[in-house]
Amino acid sequence: MRPEACRVRIDLSYDGGGFSGWARQPAQRTVQQVLEDALTRVLDRAGPVQLTVAGRTDAGVHARGQVAHADLPAMAWLEAAPALLRRLAGLLPPDVRVRRVAPAPDGFDARFSAVSRRYSYRVCDDVTGPDPLRRHDTLWYRHGVDVGAINEAAGLLLGEHDFAAFCRRREGATTVRELLSLSWARPEPTVAEATVVADAFCHSMVRALVGALLKVGEGARPPSWPAQVLTGRVRDPAVPVVPPHGLCLEEVRYPPPGQLAQRALATRRVRPAVAERAPGEPPPG
């Protein structure tokens, strides 16, 4: 980053239903394109604004706690800062809201400094379907969901593993991830909601995990099945990838300011292969 530049952290939320995901794509409406264009217009002396995001959500996926950063000319930032939120609120469409913009601490990188991302996935298993007011963020699952069986299966997936069986592979990208937490609860009698926390996620990983666990929840598969799929390290056609509209990025967590640069450096390193061990088994030592 140039000495005369200022890195700012941007906290935002969006309804993903009208977007082709976060990342810019030709002739597609994306969150990145909409937000970068609005920022560029507000900071008209700064030139095109380029954003780095904590998690590149797929088409149709929502975010309540997304984080991005941008490197802006210091003078343009100082001039725009007092009215920036108000002006963005007037320029942005109603399905994107910027909640906070502030100078980032030294060493902050929205993507590489993050220690974890937390997603939720919302499912309604009522025979009549979801509340009409929640139909855009809730999957209607036409089978009963046994949350106890799902949580038994979910516990076997925790830890650091190669999640290739639940990811779409990308050339040169690792599929090793550390699944920190995966649990289901019923916030409402007819709604089952997953909470998933990991250091990072591969493409479609959460939706594939949810799909496998729902098979357990309906009784079609035993609780041991998702862990068996995981050890195979190849995509299993029996694992459904659930629709995106039930998924929401809830939170991105970062270490204390003094540890941001160190965390970013560690994240950039290629993850070593995980030693062969059964899912749910603690690492050696």
- Would residue 37 show up in a list of annotated catalytic residues for this protein? no
CB distance 65 to 11 below 8 Å: yes
The one-letter amino acid code at 213 reads L
Distance (Å, whole) CA 227 – CA 130:
30
Cα 50 to chain centroid distance, Å, stands at 20
Structural tokens at position 155: 């516990």
Looking up tokens 């920190």 gives 180
Exactly one of 11, 15, 37, 58 is catalytic; which is it?
58
CB distance 52 to 7 below 8 Å: no
Distance (Å, whole) CA 149 – CA 146:
6
Distance (Å, whole) CA 71 – CA 49:
8
Phi, then psi, of 212 in degrees rounded to 5:
-65, -40
Q: Kindly list the catalytic residues.
A: 58
